[in-house]
Structure 1
């Protein structure tokens, strides 16, 4: 994560948890001529569109190519390109993809009208039957789709009905204001391909997918690569690149591959970033929000952290800018400070003056330590050594707390051990540097801050906030929902439930001949881009 000079503009954008496609612009250029967005990159100007093969590295082999059975970010990278969702749901706005209209009545009944004339990659029409088949497949417990919880309300499944060839009606068993978020995660699959398969996840047909996205399957070699070629009839318009190849390359070999132009882009290293800043470099750099909040969690499974005064004392002892700067090599301008548990792109995000942001105040830290009236002794701070910047965060937190006469021992874990410590709610650490990627639905954060919820692994509990979560879930009026979610954020901050640090940013380096990066809308969560139709290689 360390770079000596970083781009100071952070793109705050939403990762849709694996479902993003270029559906927002039906007037996409067909690949002829030049494009104005190139001028935003100093080294990325001149030349004409040349189609080309955009080669993207992946550390691991690609998983299932069926979006009903993928949940890992690397698999989603491919299914996000192969398949289109019904719609995108961002900032409480719907952007239509396969659907032409979505009506949500009384938070309980949804009517979806499909666009007519769309086809799958094999030329067969996309109809309501495909959507109904997909939803019922996800609801079938025997199929084992990880998307099933998104189609349940209070553990009761939705009901799906066909009104005509291009109209679907969905009935919810109970009111659920956030259900549009859930449904936006679903990419329909073709009924004519999979109908009759007993266990769809195990079907050989998944190896040769027929999708609806901007690029269609061409060929693959397990553990080595998968190549997708342009789908001219895509609902979002004809893509500019000829093809997309996802190539399996270990992380330690990716820089050499980029320098040899065997791949087109990768996450920046210090060396590559410096090269991209040189005059007449063959590289360019860009940044995007990773869709992740990094924060310091107080493990309330330990007695000392169960005391709100201790949590507040630690929060006031810390300097957020300094913690961020430690990971960004002194240039904290590139990262957005976090003051609340929600990502800025989340519905009903609040960042107003009323929130307690815990600006460093040594006197207040001492005051709350005194109020606690307990000897906190030496604290233990755990972090995952496989997460970017978390080691630097931990070391700087240790240093800052030492200045406040709070002694901290640091303990590093690999990813598996760190998850085990959290899941089992062990007491070996009082503090954790951790983070999450939860997208734009505020309801998704409930599992982390509701008493006894599974993902609330640091044991935070507040009956008043539990009631607010429940009220927000059933409230139909958006203004009232906004007020409830604002209250949740304010009360969690006041209670020092966690200490938010920053919204993580990724810096990428790409070959200069890669064009359309800005229009493609870089994204986090392993998706890389929101709209793959805009990318191409200059000649």
Structure 2
């Protein structure tokens, strides 16, 4: 699953289920869980929810200490957040822990507020944005953060020799960036851009220290996979490839230091092994697979012991099937639609995810304003899928049971991350479904760190992946035709003039209501064209060791930097 960076006033729906003592009995188990999800969808929270705890511990100096050990399903290929091959897992580990932006989203108000910057100012025409940096900020090695570091980060991202095409497109609307003085930097835009403040803040990227990352050879920078110097509250102590990455608290941190002194990310690919690891105390937090979460919350003794959370928030990913239009198979919309209609997507939700998700029809956060709830999913219709393939010229001309066209048999590889059992299960359904309409699917499981390098080069026929949504959504980087080549994120090579026009207009539309209208039109277009088969989204799931206090589910999710462990409950010593 890949998550990229992606301020309009936005009604943010946070729906929280704290499964403490949930019991589900025999045949009613699935229906009961579905009702819980429906309750989540119909609930609006205007304030953060603090998870109840058994302790009245006070946040004070005596509660400093302990570690947070997070069991992750995937090990990132790189921790260099500018690299095109960085992913959601790398951002979880590095962003705000090591690298910080100029402005940061308030997790409750869902508005950008100063972080490394102390103030900002737009010109009346919206074409100039000036940041004034704080005077008291420094990197973990004690070097002050200046405008030079901001300019270095910007120029590195847009450098065509740097492997950062998917980030560079975020700055297309930036005309120039200039240093006014050591603590003042000004951005100049070609035209007003609705995400100007977020992008210029380097949200989900952070400011890179020039004195550490400065390079003479771009290829040398591209090969850097990690560095321990940043401005955040933690520094990378070590990365034991194949095992874990260890972050220790930055004792020189310019801001308020977190209570937890060490963050450890243990890489545990097997879903069952992660559950066992939290049961045994080897890890403190995991992200269970959706179907796994449904099973564990049936156990009252488990939910009474652990904090079991399910919540919706912007950024919740959607899962999709991507059809590479540069292959002989998927350039024709009718073929892509046939691939969608051959699949019982509701059946996948019910039987593989055990009801723990929601069908989606487009690329927007399902509870957000940009999403058009009136668009209905394409129906599951095997006969219609066959008819569409016939109409597109794919017929079995040689009687071998496999359709063909112009001498090419309809046999394609379906690539997916071998690290994720959910994708394996869905791949099996796709293979069986395709066989019923005369198409042969060859399963192609690939280690995630390898698969992510193939995507920008379009070295696949079809894939299953997930995109984590932005807080304020902009689909330019994954659907605009300019993002096909030069290692952009339009992996499926979708090229549509009307889509390009819409995406460009969305970017320069500042008025929220007009932009929402445009976004919904774009939703309708991609629903019709089916560059992706949009499968489902689901709540964010977390299982957390009970000793952690101040665990709050904000509108934008969890903030482990706020957590602490009472001294008497601490498991690890410094």
2:406 is matched with: none
CA contact (8 A) 2:129 2:186 kept: yes
Kindly indicate whether residue 263 of structure 2 is the aligned counterpart of residue 244 of structure 1: yes
**Offset at 1:117?**
3.8
| Residues 210 and 464 (structure 1), Cα distance of their counterparts in 2 relative to 1, 3 Å cut | closer
Q: Which one of 85, 92, 102 corresponds to residue 120 of structure 2? A: 102
**Offset at 1:89?**
5.7
**Structural mapping, 1:175-214, within 5 Å:** 176-183=193-200, 184-190=203-209, 194=212, 209-213=228-232
**Structural mapping, 1:409-448, within 5 Å:** 409-415=440-446, 432-437=463-468, 439-440=470-471, 442-448=473-479
Q: Which one of 266, 272, 276 corresponds to residue 286 of structure 2? A: 266
Query: SS of 1:161's equivalent?
Result: strand
Runs (5+) with no aligned partner, structure 2: 2-23, 42-46, 397-401, 404-409, 570-574
Kindly indicate whether residue 308 of structure 2 is the aligned counterpart of residue 285 of structure 1: yes
1:88 is matched with: 104
**Structural mapping, 1:87-486, within 5 Å:** 87-88=103-104, 93-105=111-123, 106=125, 108-121=127-140, 126-136=145-155, 138=157, 149=168, 152-153=171-172, 158-172=175-189, 176-183=193-200, 184-190=203-209, 194=212, 209-213=228-232, 215-217=233-235, 219-220=237-238, 222-223=240-241, 225-229=245-249, 235=255, 237-247=256-266, 254-255=274-275, 257-268=277-288, 277-281=298-302, 282-287=305-310, 291-301=316-326, 305-313=330-338, 315-316=340-341, 318-328=343-353, 331-332=354-355, 334-344=356-366, 349-353=370-374, 355-360=375-380, 375=395, 378=403, 380=411, 382-384=414-416, 386=418, 387-397=420-430, 406-415=437-446, 432-437=463-468, 439-440=470-471, 442-448=473-479, 450=481, 453-454=484-485, 455-486=489-520
2:532 & 2:226 partners in 1: Cα distance?
43
**Structural mapping, 1:51-62, within 5 Å:** 51=64, 52-57=66-71
**Offset at 1:239?**
2.5
1:507 & 1:534 partners in 2: Cα distance?
19
**Offset at 1:517?**
3.6
Query: SS of 1:391's equivalent?
Result: helix
Runs (5+) with no aligned partner, structure 1: 13-24, 26-34, 524-528
| Residues 45 and 511 (structure 1), Cα distance of their counterparts in 2 relative to 1, 3 Å cut | same
**1:170-216 deviation digits (Å, cap 9, x = unpaired):** 1235665444443324422445x54987679779x998744332x23
1:460 & 1:149 partners in 2: Cα distance?
19
CA contact (8 A) 1:160 1:171 kept: yes
TM-score, normalization: structure 2?
0.68
2:57 is matched with: 48
2:10 is matched with: none
Query: SS of 1:350's equivalent?
Result: coil
**1:107-147 deviation digits (Å, cap 9, x = unpaired):** 53221133444454456654445434543455566777778
Query: SS of 1:536's equivalent?
Result: coil
**Offset at 1:337?**
1.6
TM-score, normalization: structure 1?
0.71
1:410 & 1:55 partners in 2: Cα distance?
39
Tell me which moved more, 144-153 or 507-516. Answer: 144-153
Query: SS of 1:168's equivalent?
Result: strand
